[in-house]
Amino acid sequence: MANVSRLFFALWPDDTTRQKLVRLCQSIQAKEFKWVLPQNLHVTLVFLGNIDTSAELLIKKSAAAISAEPFVVTFDRLTYWKKPKVLCLASRQPPPSKLMILVEALGLAVENCGLQIDARPYAPHITLARHGNAWVDQDCEPVVWQANSFCLVESCSKAGGVFYKVIEQWPFEAGSLA
């Protein structure tokens, strides 16, 4: 079998945004959670799963053809998802239209490569912690995320846990999407 990588498209934070996320995590009083490593914080756009090398090349080519404009997402709500037992940072506002257009374009590009993606409605979020028992949803200090690019990211499993590696990054172009 060809080389296989576990891949997803994501928004990757700049250093300032990552530092804000780390400060937010440090302010949360929830010791029972396993916190996501700071270098792994991101916003998943489209999860691809296990992809072989030839499909990865097709996906990269399709992604490179996508044009998108910069946008801002404000994350201001801590929410707990019971089934996966994760604490997420979400938004009280509907997702920006430019974000939803990007997610739709990426999903279509992936499907055009012959792959299937999750059919659930997209909800932008940042997973902050895993394996917690419960949490009461609450508003929090907003984290404003200026998105200027999207990435193809590989999930790598090592003895010390999972880490994410940016494989390729595509900058947004002003005026590309309405």
Nearest Cα neighbor of 84 from 136, 48, 132 is: 132
Q: Is the residue at 139 inside a domain?
A: yes
Active site residue: 21, 42, 63, 154, which one? 42
3-state SS assignment for residue 122: coil
- Does 176 map to a domain? no
Residue ranges making up the domain that contains 142:
4-171
Give the CATH number of the domain where residue 29 resides.
3.90.1140.10
The position carrying tokens 């590009």 is 109
pLDDT digits (tens, 9 = 90+) for 64-116: 999 999 999 999 999 999 888 899 999 999 999 999 999 999 999 999 888 88
Q: Is residue 177 part of a domain?
A: no
Number of domains in the chain: 1
Q: Is 131 a catalytic residue?
A: no
Instruction: Read off the DSSP letter of residue 95.
Output: P
Q: Is residue 178 part of a domain?
A: no
Q: Is the pLDDT of residue 177 over 60?
A: no
Which of 55, 125, 152, 164 is the catalytic position? 125
Whether this model's pTM surpasses 0.85: yes
Query: DSSP letter string over 20-81?
Result: HHHHHHHH---TTSEEPPGGG--EEEEEEEEEEHHHHHHHHHHHHT-----EEEEEEEEEEE
Token pair in block for residue 8: 């997803």
* 154-163 confidence digits (pLDDT tens): 999 888 788 9
- What does DSSP assign to residue 102? H
Q: Does the structure show a pLDDT above 70 at 2? A: no
Do 148 and 68 contact (CB within 8 A), yes or no?
A: no
